[in-house]
Amino acid sequence: MTYAHKEYKGAEFDNENSTMKKILILAANPKNTNKLRLDEEVREIQAALKQAKNREQFEIVTGLAIRVEDLRRALLEHQPTIVHFSGHGSGTEGLALENKLGQMQLVSTESLARLFALFQSKIECVLLNACYSQAQAEAIHQHIDYVVGMNKAIGDVAAIEFAVGFYDALFAGISYEECFDIGRASIDLQGIPEFSTPQLKARRRTSSFSREEHMQESKQLAIATQSHQNMIPKDSSWSVSIGRDNSGQIIGSVMGDVTQNHHNYQGESEDKLSVAQVVKLIEKIEDLFEYSDLPVTQNKQVLKHLDYAKDAVQEEQPDKDIATKSLKKAIQVLKEANETLNVGQGLWQKLEPILKQLASWLGIAAKSLL
């Protein structure tokens, strides 16, 4: 692999990131594939940075004729914030890199997802500027917050226009979502009909509650839980579940160990929750973790699993199986942190009533959540 390394050193970010963003641009055009204008794409991105007012805030590293082993080494060596791949895609079969003879070697979608999972604490955005790369984008999005892929073939001109528009916006300090929109607008402005080919998978890291609101809600839920608990005989095997509905009103439910009978104090069974209410419950779990004592790495892993659960819930046909598996993974991270680092103990009591409501909606597959 040949590196063309250009580093811009200077003032750090004034915003909350406060560090220079490193962009790793990797390109592959195996000998037995159609010729692409990859050099031009790289030059245009570098030129965009040279013209940017905020050029001191970014560093570009490029790798050409990338081989399979080069991909792993480049991620390890450079620890980038943004990874940009230019080359050929083969749909669900993977991305086309090179072998030692310069011939095409496909890297599977699953392998790429597992690789990027190892760098999820550092990488913020992945841009796959390759034909039919949407499958890889969706897989990588399990671990990386912002991923761009192509839903069909894209020509050289459109690919370059999208890249230049995206990075012009990025170097101006724009959010990833807006960079994506401007990249597509750049294609459209040239009269190229491929402006809808780039697709963005995105999740935001913003909390729907302030810290004060979160603490106040915890107090209210604790009071409500105690109030409803007092209604149950001490020797009873029944348990209480307290939460809020989609409008923010506190609701309660009582569950029996044997019969699994339900009584909701608003007269509605938990398994009749709307998708919006289920999403709200998952967001409550996110809020709990945001103010937890978990280390940053474990906390980010939990939030990613929770976001993936929300994505599954909000599909046109909610995928309860995927949502359940993602919630289980989030809980497993908390369990391991509790066992190895002795942190997160205070979360369990707050999580239990929320998980009970979710388990009721998710069905029998979610029984182990409890």
pTM of the model: 0.56
Please give the pLDDT value at position 111: 95
Amino acid at the residue 213: E
CA-based torsion, 117, 119, 123, 128: positive or negative:
negative
Please give the pLDDT value at position 265: 35
Same-domain pairing of 241 and 183: no
Mean pLDDT by 10 residues, the chain (370 residues): 39 46 95 91 95 92 92 95 95 93 94 95 96 95 95 94 97 94 96 94 59 48 53 49 46 44 39 83 84 76 84 83 85 78 66 84 66
Same-domain pairing of 80 and 160: yes
Please give the pLDDT value at position 250: 46
Q: How many domains does the chain have?
A: 2
Distances in whole angstroms, Cα of residue 180 to Cα of each of 118, 162, 168, 336: 25, 8, 11, 37
Please give the pLDDT value at position 56: 92
Same-domain pairing of 114 and 223: no
* Residue 17: CA count within 13 A, CB half-sphere: 15
CA-based torsion, 39, 201, 7, 64: positive or negative:
negative
As beta bridge partners, residue 244 has 250
Phi and psi angles of residue 280, each rounded to the nearest 5 degrees, phi first: -60, -40
Distance in angstroms (rounded) separating the CA atoms of residues 157 and 166: 14
C-alpha dihedral, 230 to 232 to 236 to 240, nearest 10°: -90
Please give the pLDDT value at position 6: 40
Distance in angstroms (rounded) separating the CA atoms of residues 60 and 49: 9
Same-domain pairing of 178 and 266: no
Same-domain pairing of 11 and 151: yes
- Domain range enclosing 263: 211-369
Same-domain pairing of 198 and 217: no
- CATH number of the CATH domain containing 168: 3.40.50.1460
Q: What tokens does 141 get?
A: 């999005």
Looking at 150, 174, 202, the residue that finishes a domain is 202
Looking at 202, 236, 254, the residue that finishes a domain is 202
Distances in whole angstroms, Cα of residue 266 to Cα of each of 104, 228, 272, 273, 309: 61, 13, 12, 12, 26
* Residue 300: CA count within 13 A, CB half-sphere: 15
Same-domain pairing of 16 and 130: yes
Please give the pLDDT value at position 95: 96
Same-domain pairing of 192 and 220: no
SS3 41: helix
Same-domain pairing of 95 and 145: yes
Looking at 202, 236, 264, the residue that finishes a domain is 202
Please give the pLDDT value at position 350: 82
Cα 113 off chain centre by: 12
CA-based torsion, 360, 365, 366, 370: positive or negative:
positive
Same-domain pairing of 157 and 251: no
Same-domain pairing of 140 and 117: yes
State the residue for tokens 């991105």: 45
Please give the pLDDT value at position 260: 39
Same-domain pairing of 281 and 350: yes
